[in-house]
Structure 1
Amino acid sequence: MSTRALLVVDVQPTFCEGGELPVDGGNRVAQDVAAYVAAHRDRYGLVVTTQDWHIDPGEHFSSEPDFVNSWPVHGVAESPNAALHPALADLAADVAVRKGQYDHGYSGFDGADEVGRSLDQVLREADVREVDVVGLAESHCVKFTALDAERHGFETRVLTDLTAPVSAEQGEQAHRELTEAGVELTPSTAR
């Protein structure tokens, strides 16, 4: 059994074109992630999805967002746009983690699965040592999830062709932060 996990971060309609907080290329990322998993599921001992699942995240939501610390309403728990993207219908993830119910919830490590296990617990119970991170948005939830994975001691890679940033500038900043923290940035085709 592989000790590598794939973390599919926030691939939800809310972050795709037509959603409340769209990322350019979000629908493409959803389709590409689905195709990648279909072709390479055997590379991973565990596939985990994360979802923004906001109930009352406080100042995270704003009617006058600054798009840095506050955002338009998005990822509302139980709403259709908070569900996984339809492209992931056949993903067959092993674990689903929901985050941000009452806070920002940028990192998958802030959330829990349906029985209350943290992402760190889920990965350790499966004897995972390495993680690949994909999803939306590269400059925010993907970045924070990858940084936390590295901090928790997992060998961490972001598959750069299976993600998209909020903006090119924020994507470049995320790449700098990730590289400085020791996270590997690589396209999925390099595997």
Structure 2
Amino acid sequence: MQINTKQDHTAVVVVDIQADFTQAMQGSLAVGDADREYLNAAETQTRRLKALGYPIYATQDWHPANHISFFSNHDNAKPYDVIEIEGRQQVLWPPHCVQDTANARILMDESLFTAIVKKGMDPAFDSYSGFFDDGKKETGLADILKNAGIKKLIIYGLATDYCVKATVMDAIMLGFDVTLIKDLCRGVTPESTAAALEEMKAAGVDIC
């Protein structure tokens, strides 16, 4: 997709393009096609959108080492086990995006961003969405955008079927118009990515 003119009241949200989610950096939760070519394309397009005048925001997974989603913090657990915690299902992931570690860093020039919103900092709750954690605690992104007069969002990043989808669906729920740039996203599996795209399209997201 080529966006060639600035749209009023529109901002860009780049979701979780971090080392631990990329094949290029051999991250602990690497998305298979998130290779160097993908990273270069994402940064090139982000720079282009910035040059057009769009404010650019980023989300960043930023977990404490004792986070509930890490399998290593549960006895006799394995990566990708699903357990129940206080009535909700929790996928147990390999430790990833641990605060102040190299693999938690965003793989773009941070000067591109008007703000970086960290998520997943509460050790008791996972946080796929850039807007809320699983306990419905706000990250602050919605207030930042609304205070800036933003009504429309262009969203892309990692991973299509997890944090991108959750961010997009919450943005719709909050009343934003959303465009998803599919080519600047990568998903975990083809099946779950296709399902996520269908769910977002059904919710009224403009996918291009």
TM-score, L = length of structure 2: 0.80
Q: Residues of 2 paired with 1:167 and 1:177: CA distance?
A: 15
**Contact 1:3–1:45 under 8 Å retained in 2:** no
- Choose from 39, 47, 67 the match for 1:57: 67
Instruction: Pick the aligned partner of 1:7 from 2, 7, 13.
Output: 13
Distance 1:13 1:170 in 2: 22
Task: Kindly name which structure, 1 or 2, has the bigger radius of gyration based on alpha carbons.
Answer: 2
CA contact (8 A) 1:65 1:71 kept: yes
User: Where in structure 2 are the equivalents of 1:127-146 lying within 5 Å?
Assistant: 127-146=149-168
Contact kept in structure 1, 2:179 and 2:205, CA below 8 Å: yes
Tell me the alpha carbon deviations over residues 44-65 of structure 1, each in whole angstroms, 9 at most, x when there is no partner. Answer: 542101111011331x111412
Partner in structure 1 of residue 183 of structure 2: 161
**CA shift in 2, pair 1:182/1:89, >3 Å:** same
The answer for the alignment partner of 2:109 in structure 1 is 89
Structure 1 segments (4+ residues) deviating >3 Å: 42-45
Choose from 42, 45, 54 the match for 1:33: 42
Cα contact 2:118–2:139 (8 A) shared by 1: no
Tell me: CA distance 1:134–1:44, structure 2 relative to 1, closer, same or farther (3 Å): farther
- Aligned equivalents of 1:117, 1:145: Cα separation in 2: 11
CA contact (8 A) 2:160 2:193 kept: yes
More moved, 157-166 vs 20-29: 20-29
Consecutive unaligned residues in structure 2, runs of 5 or more: 1-5, 73-77, 83-90
Tell me the distance in 2 between the aligned counterparts of 1:44 and 1:155. 19
> Is this contact kept in 2: 1:3–1:44, CA < 8 A?
no
Identity %: 30
- Per the TM alignment, residue 67 of structure 1 is displaced from its structure 2 partner at its CA by 6.7
- Matched residue count: 179
Q: Relative to 1, partners in 2 of residues 1:66 and 1:166: Cα closer, same or farther, differing over 3 Å?
A: same
Give 5+ residue unaligned stretches, structure 1. Answer: 187-191
